[in-house]
Amino acid sequence: MPNAVIRQMLERRSIRSFSGAPVSDKDLQIILSAAQQAPTSVNGEQISLIVTRDKDTIRKIAAIAGGQPQVANAEVFITIVIDFNRTAHAVAMAGETQLIDHSAEGLIVGAVDAGIMLQALQMAAGSLGYGTTAIGGIRNNPQALIELFGLPPRTFPLVGTTLGVPDPDKLPRIKPRVPLASFALNERYDEDKVIAGICDYDLTLRQWWDAQGQFDMPSYIKGTAGYYKADYFPTVGAALQSQGFALADIKD
């Protein structure tokens, strides 16, 4: 029998409908404190959170993210920010000049740490009975979010999460995933298994949507192609550059 943590992970789902019940200050502080224990590369602490409870501001975030009602209806919105501004100050205090934010490695470090933080926030929230959904749509207009939050150079709002009490009458079913054998590959990458898994999952996801009467939702293959045939957030690169980020390989 799985323990409570494993059970929570196996039953994870994105919550897009909230009851309107409040998130208590005490619970929010517990969630933030628990998430802060997540690891960061070299213990650099290059992540900051912008915690938004003001409903007008949340609606502005929803508009920036492309008009998402699941954001507008959240009780709390947490934006996960790559923060090499903090580390730049620490490096300067040591009498050195920070370069990592100008490198490809630096951007990867920030993205990895942001992903870890997202998972930590959502796990902590779920353990207290709250619902969440990851929102990458804030990158639809990152410059607007940078201005809304007054983010300094060397920072970037990478992803966010909603937070609220789920509406018990609108709980989504747990979405299936690609077959485990095509996801957890033993010893070496196996392209044949990956391709077979795509075909299996395309059928599985189609059946999952149909079982809920959502016949207009795309299958895995069509849905993925719909997004990945183009750069669907085409201002991210310019916003990164304006914040001082680059993709160089810096050598001594």
Residue 251 has pLDDT above 90, yes or no: no
pLDDT tens per residue, range 25-70: 999 999 999 999 999 999 999 999 999 999 999 999 999 999 999 9
**How far is Cα 92 from Cα 210, in angstroms, rounded to an integer?**
57
Residue 128 has pLDDT above 80, yes or no: yes
- Band of the pLDDT at 146, cuts 50, 70, 90? very high
The per-residue pLDDT for 248 is 83
Q: Could you tell me the domains of the chain?
A: 4-172+232-242 (3.40.109.10)
Residue type, 171: L
The per-residue pLDDT for 8 is 92
pLDDT tens per residue, range 150-206: 999 999 999 999 999 999 999 989 999 999 999 999 999 999 999 999 999 999 999
Whole-number mean pLDDT of the chain?
96
Residue 194 near residue 183 (C-beta atoms within 8 A)? no
- Averaged over 102-107, what is the pLDDT? 95
Residue 126 has pLDDT above 80, yes or no: yes
Residue type, 73: N
The per-residue pLDDT for 75 is 97
- Averaged over 122-126, what is the pLDDT? 98
Q: Which helix (H) or strand (E) holds 7?
A: helix 4-10
Residue 82 near residue 155 (C-beta atoms within 8 A)? yes
pLDDT tens per residue, range 2-22: 899 999 999 999 999 999 999
What secondary structure does DSSP assign to 42-101, as a single string? GG---EEEEEE--HHHHHHHHHHTTS-HHHHT-SEEEEEEEEHHHHHHHHHHTT----GG
pLDDT tens per residue, range 183-197: 999 999 999 999 999
The per-residue pLDDT for 247 is 84
- Band of the pLDDT at 250, cuts 50, 70, 90? confident
- Band of the pLDDT at 83, cuts 50, 70, 90? very high
- Band of the pLDDT at 216, cuts 50, 70, 90? very high
